Structure 1
């Protein structure tokens, strides 16, 4: 009798999150995680900090780039954001967790995805506006940077859900 090998561990789905982000971005990421029967890892990157150490699960310990501007609680996942995620993910039956990362957003999300061998990275776009367009032109988007630097799929969810028109008459709806 030949023993069949154990099934490979399921690859999680990593989603970049931030306070005030449209909820449908996390909802789409949860749908992917549910379809893959995988964990959803909600990762927030604090660009004002740098990583000092890392755990096996991809979580990091960090320090403020400016030691004179360190605020208490900056090294913990924001409780308000976690509550917001809990509301968004309630009833999805998806196992999810949070990670607080530090540094460049694209580097941090990419490194986390590699560390946990993620099936994909899900990110949202910025709200379409004149200032947002100029900012993206000069800074390039997180999605573009990830797509050029990753060996795994990057799924980009528009900031506005389908069917929602722009409140600004001169900005076209997606």
Structure 2
């Protein structure tokens, strides 16, 4: 009997960075949690605030509003309602997780965070379930920008925009 050849693919050993936003369908979080649980990895849920930009280009550093007249509080923090949703969705999975608030354009901010934490991969969602919506979303989306610029895997989870209670048709 011969042994299978050693795999040349990289192992998953860093956390999984997941792009999230308030009101997002649960499929993205659930798929990321399943993957993390099966691989024994932690999750880092990242929310990119597009109304601010990193002043010195570093993560976690000072941020300033893009429109100083339109933003009252730059240091609002990770949205509490989003953190509550994550706690509820992740309870059944028992995986370690954390949150991080990022500043600036989401694709760039997610890529910076993934590099900063040595992420195994980045997980993001689409805006629609149908193939046409998914392809349209990829044409100018955060997912597309990540796919074009990343040297690490990017998992794009199609989400069901038809409604959370509706099941797939057979």
Pairwise same-fold verdict (TM > 0.5): yes
The residue aligned with 1:124 is 125
Contact 1:43 1:109 in 2 (8 A): yes
SS in 1 for 2:55: strand
Equivalenced residue count is 154
Pick one of 11, 14, 20 that aligns with 1:11: 14
Between the aligned partners of 2:57 and 2:34, the Cα distance in structure 1 is 28
How many angstroms does 1:61 deviate by?
3.7
The residue aligned with 1:20 is 23
Moved more, 45-54 or 100-109: 45-54
Between the aligned partners of 1:61 and 1:36, the Cα distance in structure 2 is 34
How many angstroms does 1:35 deviate by?
1.9
Between the aligned partners of 1:108 and 1:12, the Cα distance in structure 2 is 16
Q: What is the Cα-based RMSD across aligned positions, in Å?
A: 3.0
Name the CA shift for 1:125/1:93 in 2 (closer, same or farther; >3 Å). same
Between the aligned partners of 2:152 and 2:123, the Cα distance in structure 1 is 11
The residue aligned with 2:112 is 111
How many angstroms does 1:71 deviate by?
2.6
Structure 1 stretches lacking a partner, 5+ long: 1-7, 166-174
How many angstroms does 1:24 deviate by?
1.4
Name the CA shift for 1:9/1:142 in 2 (closer, same or farther; >3 Å). closer
The residue aligned with 2:55 is 52
The residue aligned with 2:148 is 148
Between the aligned partners of 1:13 and 1:54, the Cα distance in structure 2 is 22
TM-score (norm. length: structure 1): 0.77
Name the CA shift for 1:147/1:80 in 2 (closer, same or farther; >3 Å). same
Name the CA shift for 1:148/1:9 in 2 (closer, same or farther; >3 Å). closer
**1:71 is the counterpart of 2:75:** no
Contact 2:43 2:96 in 1 (8 A): yes
**1:164 is the counterpart of 2:168:** yes
Between the aligned partners of 2:41 and 2:129, the Cα distance in structure 1 is 31
